[in-house]
Structure 1
Amino acid sequence: MTTGFFDGIAPVKHEGENSNSPIAYRHYNPDELVMGKRMEEHLRFAVAWWHSFAWEGGDPFGGQTFERPWHPQDNMAKAREKVDAAFEFFDILGQPYFCWHDADIRPEQGNFADNLATLDEITDYIGDKMQGRSIGCLWGTANMFSHRRWMAGASTNPDPDVFAFAAATVKSCLDATHKLGGENYVLWGGREGYETLLNTDMGQELDHMGRFLSMVVDYKHKIGFKGTILVEPKPQEPSKHQYDFDAATCIGFLRKYGLEGEVKLNLEQGHAILAGHSFEHELAVAASEGLLGSIDMNRNDYQSGWDTDQFPNNVPEVALAYYHILKAGGLGTGGTNFDAKLRRQSLDAEDLVAGHVGAMDVCARGLKAAAAMIEDGGLETALQERYAGWRTDAAQQMLGSDLAAITDRVLAEEINPQPRSGRQEILENYVNRFV
Structure 2
Amino acid sequence: MTDFFKNIPTIKYEGPGTSNEFAFRHYNPDEVVMGKRMEDHLRFAVAYWHSFAWPGGDPFGGQTFERPWFGDGMALAKMKADVAFEMFDILGTPFYAFHDADARPEGATFAESLRNLEEIVEYLAEKQASHKAKLLWGTANLFSHRRWMSGAATNPDPEVYAYAAATVKSCLDATMKLGGQNYVLWGGREGYETLLNTDLAQERAHAGRFLQSVVEYKHKIGFQGAILIEPKPQEPSKHQYDYDVATVYGFLKDFGLEKEVQVNIEQGHAILAGHSFEHEIALAASLGIFGSIDMNRNDYQSGWDTDQFPNNHAEKAVAFYEIIRAGGYTKGGTNFDAKIRRQSLDPEDLILAHVGGMDTCARAFKAAAALFEADALEAKRRERYAGWQSAEAKAMLNQPLEAVAASVLAQNINPQPRSGRQERLENLWNDYI
Normalising to structure 1: TM-score of the pair? 0.98
1:18, distance to aligned residue in structure 2 (A): 0.9
Match of 2:141 in 1: 143
Q: Does 1:247 align with 2:245?
A: yes
1:413, distance to aligned residue in structure 2 (A): 2.3
SS of aligned partner of 2:12? coil
Q: Deviations over 1:72-92 (max 9, x none)?
A: x32222111111111111111
Partners of 1:176 and 1:403 in 2: CA distance: 55
Partners of 2:366 and 2:352 in 1: CA distance: 21
Match of 1:96 in 2: 94
Match of 1:423 in 2: 421
Partners of 1:425 and 1:299 in 2: CA distance: 26
5+ residue gaps, structure 2: none
Partners of 1:224 and 1:204 in 2: CA distance: 30
1:394, distance to aligned residue in structure 2 (A): 2.7
Match of 1:14 in 2: 13
Q: How does 1:182-193 map to 2 (within 5 A)?
A: 182-193=180-191
SS of aligned partner of 1:267? strand
Partners of 1:371 and 1:127 in 2: CA distance: 35
SS of aligned partner of 1:131? helix
Q: Is the 8 A contact 2:100 2:171 kept in 1?
A: yes
1:53, distance to aligned residue in structure 2 (A): 0.5
Match among 354, 360, 363 for residue 362 of structure 1: 360
Q: Is the 8 A contact 1:145 1:191 kept in 2?
A: yes
Partners of 1:322 and 1:328 in 2: CA distance: 10
Match among 376, 385, 388 for residue 386 of structure 2: 388
1:153, distance to aligned residue in structure 2 (A): 0.5
Match of 2:74 in 1: 76
Match of 1:324 in 2: 322
Match among 401, 410, 413 for residue 412 of structure 1: 410
Match of 2:283 in 1: 285
SS of aligned partner of 1:272? helix
Q: Does 1:353 align with 2:351?
A: yes
Q: Deviations over 1:76-128 (max 9, x none)?
A: 22111111111111111110000000111112223201110100111111111
SS of aligned partner of 2:188? coil
SS of aligned partner of 2:252? helix
Match of 2:197 in 1: 199
SS of aligned partner of 1:397? helix
Q: Is the 8 A contact 1:79 1:105 kept in 2?
A: yes
Q: Deviations over 1:330-368 (max 9, x none)?
A: 110010000000011111100000000010011111111
Q: How does 1:121-160 map to 2 (within 5 A)?
A: 121-160=119-158
Partners of 2:377 and 2:78 in 1: CA distance: 50
Q: Is the 8 A contact 1:99 1:139 kept in 2?
A: yes
1:375, distance to aligned residue in structure 2 (A): 0.6
Match of 2:105 in 1: 107
1:391, distance to aligned residue in structure 2 (A): 1.7
The amino acid that maps onto 1:24 is A
Q: Is the 8 A contact 1:293 1:334 kept in 2?
A: yes
The amino acid that maps onto 2:261 is V
1:386, distance to aligned residue in structure 2 (A): 1.1
Partners of 2:166 and 2:219 in 1: CA distance: 17
Q: How does 1:233-272 map to 2 (within 5 A)?
A: 233-272=231-270
Q: Is the 8 A contact 1:156 1:192 kept in 2?
A: yes
Partners of 2:255 and 2:284 in 1: CA distance: 17
1:414, distance to aligned residue in structure 2 (A): 2.2
The amino acid that maps onto 1:291 is I
Q: Is the 8 A contact 2:231 2:263 kept in 1?
A: yes
Q: Is the 8 A contact 1:3 1:69 kept in 2?
A: no
Moved over 3 A (4+): none
Q: Deviations over 1:392-424 (max 9, x none)?
A: 233222211222222222222222222211111
Match of 2:33 in 1: 34
Q: Is the 8 A contact 2:64 2:343 kept in 1?
A: yes
Q: Is the 8 A contact 2:85 2:133 kept in 1?
A: no
Partners of 1:121 and 1:393 in 2: CA distance: 63
Partners of 1:303 and 1:414 in 2: CA distance: 54
Match of 1:297 in 2: 295
1:56, distance to aligned residue in structure 2 (A): 0.7
Over aligned residues, Cα RMSD in angstroms? 1.0
1:154, distance to aligned residue in structure 2 (A): 0.4
